Amino acid sequence: MNTYTVLLVDDEEEVIQVIIKKINWEWLGFSVIGYANNGVKALEMVEEFQPDVVMTDIKMPYMDGLELCKHIKADYPATKILLFTGFDEFEYAKEAVHLEVEEYVLKPVNSVELTNVFIQMKTKLNQEISEKRNVETLQKYYLDSLPLLQANFYSTLIEGRISEDELPKYISDYQISLSGPFFVCLVIYTSPSHVPEHMNTLLLSTAVQKQAKEYLGEKWQAKCLSYLGNTVLIVQMKDETEVSELTDECDRFCRYAERIIGAVVTVGIGRVCENVLDLPLSYNSAREAASYRVIYRAPRAINIKEIAPREISRSSPMNDAKLSNLFHTIRIGSAQEMAEAVKEYQEYLSVSAKSLQQYHIAIMELVSGFYKFATNNNIDVDECLGDMSKLYSHLLDLEPDVMGKWLTDTSLSFQERLISARSSSTQSFVSKAKEHVHNNYADEELSLDSICKILSVSNSYFSTIFKKETGNSFIGYLTEYRMEQASRQLVETDEKNYIIAKNVGYTDPNYFSYVFKRRFGVSPSKYRVEHTKK
């Protein structure tokens, strides 16, 4: 039997305690994961825990219940909402209906009535979960998936096997809409190691694909196909800057898929292009982004531009699969995988180079590949490789074992520099974020969204890196810094509390007092008295 989570929200704690104690939650199949006494705190908890049901009062300080409902429905549409209030007003009820609230209950809350409401809620949740996990439904969906011609067109398109002259005819004949004007590929990888009971890997991947189409398809005009064991979405955007919003939405989808169907999903987001014929480049970078799941914990979305901004080449992918694999291993592989990739590339050289001339061409491609890789990743070419012509001549004379050692040493050297560059890059934008807070903490509009827009990164990636580097969320860091400044001004100046509140970015003095007391355990006025005693 499924157990669903409930978050209770009311500024009267005694009301919450009555609800917790009078309802047999375990018997109903629910568990209360916590409670909040205002909408701001509730929204933070919804983001962290993603409860199945939020039961909230309407009239609360800082953010009322209706505003909370709007945020939840916008970002977490699968969450069910139950409103309860002592204000029996028709306008509230109309707004609640507009927000697709599941139920509207008046205070004082009757335990029998509320139990019946949650029994109905449980039935509805069970039905939705059952529909999403029903094996027969998934099998039918798999058999009735996208028409063969369209699927074949999309796969051929991302493989780069459609010419500019052929494109209009394909689009017309197959009734395909690719208006863009910007495009980006998503590669959705479903872990085969986390398969729910009564499913197999094929049905799980099909379920993920179905949910991806429903969750992302309409808004982003996405074209969906199965390709090389993954789900691929070709997303259309009106503006190139929308990729940050897309990244955040993909990140929410990953957590949604895990919660609803038990799938551990990674979404790789490729580079943005303006021409559909450039989609092979976007697909290859998206596939590479998904492979970074070995470094970044799943489930999550990974934008190749954010994790490796200097590692994206604007040139075409290398024709040599073995050489491409070697550079891929330099980016994310272990030392053992590096040795294996070097060995495979040397074996490839010995097999493919059937003449001295072909061997010379292969070495030239190898040297050229390393120079391009170094340039695209901001690695000092002269320091690592020296003069290109001298290196080429030197490698031509090397015995196979010496050549293997050079290739291994050079690959490891490149990998060390990439790791250092990534670390510097993340530390750099974390430092910029901190500096921005120090200079703009008084700005009431300063938020996670605004700092991400300034840094041109998605919320999900920035939040992950910022917490990893600082041990605190961005909002937590901002609040801490504001409270430090407020405490200093309380002690060092005679300004009134509401002036200090405004000085540190709070337009509502009551909310400022609430946050201050939560941080220091006393009100601003009492803090001033305690710290200015002679």
pLDDT digits (tens, 9 = 90+) for 265-292: 999 999 999 999 999 999 999 998 888 7
Query: At 533, is the pLDDT very low, low, confident or very high (cuts 50, 70, 90)?
Result: low
More confident residue, 471 or 309: 471
Mean per-residue pLDDT, 386-408: 77
Contacts of 406 (CB under 8 A, 6+ apart): 395, 398
User: Is the CATH number 3.10.310.30 carried by domain 441-531?
Assistant: no
pLDDT digits (tens, 9 = 90+) for 301-333: 999 888 764 444 333 333 356 777 888 888 777
Helices (H), 134-192: 135-143, 148-158, 167-173
DSSP symbol at 377: T
Nearest alpha carbon to residue 47 among 76, 86, 4, 83:
76
- d(CA 280, CA 424) in angstroms, rounded, equals 30
Asked whether the beta carbons of 273 and 285 are under 8 A apart, the reply is no
- What pLDDT shows up at residue 203? 92
Mean per-residue pLDDT, 166-179: 87
The secondary structure element, H or E, covering residue 269 is: strand 265-269
- What pLDDT shows up at residue 465? 82
Domain 4-133, second-level architecture: 3-Layer(aba) Sandwich (3.40)
- What pLDDT shows up at residue 315? 36
pLDDT digits (tens, 9 = 90+) for 214-263: 999 989 999 999 999 899 999 999 999 899 999 999 999 999 999 999 99
- What pLDDT shows up at residue 265? 94
- What pLDDT shows up at residue 311? 41
- What pLDDT shows up at residue 316? 36
pLDDT of residue 208 exceeding 80: yes
Parallel, antiparallel, or unpaired for β 182-190 and 265-269?
antiparallel
Give one DSSP letter per residue of 69-98, joined into a string. Answer: HHHHHHH-TTSEEEEEES---HHHHHHHHH
- What pLDDT shows up at residue 96? 61
pLDDT digits (tens, 9 = 90+) for 101-157: 777 777 777 888 889 999 999 999 988 888 777 766 665 665 565 577 888 889 999
Crossing angle, helix 474-492 and helix 509-520, to 10 degrees?
A: 100
Query: At 50, is the pLDDT very low, low, confident or very high (cuts 50, 70, 90)?
Result: very high
- What pLDDT shows up at residue 294? 62
- What pLDDT shows up at residue 319? 39
More confident residue, 392 or 455: 455
Mean pLDDT across the chain: 84
Tokens for 262?
């038990």
Mean per-residue pLDDT, 23-33: 92
- What pLDDT shows up at residue 104? 77
pLDDT digits (tens, 9 = 90+) for 338-363: 888 888 888 777 666 555 567 778 88
Q: What percent of the chain has pLDDT over 70?
A: 88
Tokens 């012509």 found at? 389
Query: At 499, is the pLDDT very low, low, confident or very high (cuts 50, 70, 90)?
Result: very high
More confident residue, 39 or 468: 39
Query: At 497, is the pLDDT very low, low, confident or very high (cuts 50, 70, 90)?
Result: very high
- What pLDDT shows up at residue 314? 38
pLDDT of residue 504 exceeding 90: yes
More confident residue, 460 or 516: 516
pLDDT of residue 87 exceeding 70: no
Q: Where are the domains of the chain?
A: 4-133, 146-307, 321-421, 441-531
Parallel, antiparallel, or unpaired for β 182-190 and 103-106?
unpaired
Most confident of 3-17, 322-336, 424-438: 3-17
pLDDT of residue 29 exceeding 70: yes
Query: At 431, is the pLDDT very low, low, confident or very high (cuts 50, 70, 90)?
Result: confident
What fold does the segment set 146-307 form as a domain? Alpha-Beta Plaits (3.30.70)
Chain centroid offset of residue 428 CA: 20
Query: At 80, is the pLDDT very low, low, confident or very high (cuts 50, 70, 90)?
Result: very high
Asked whether the beta carbons of 237 and 147 are under 8 A apart, the reply is no
Most confident of 188-202, 242-256, 408-422, 444-458: 242-256
- Neighbour count for residue 9 (Cβ, 10 Å): 26
- What pLDDT shows up at residue 284? 92
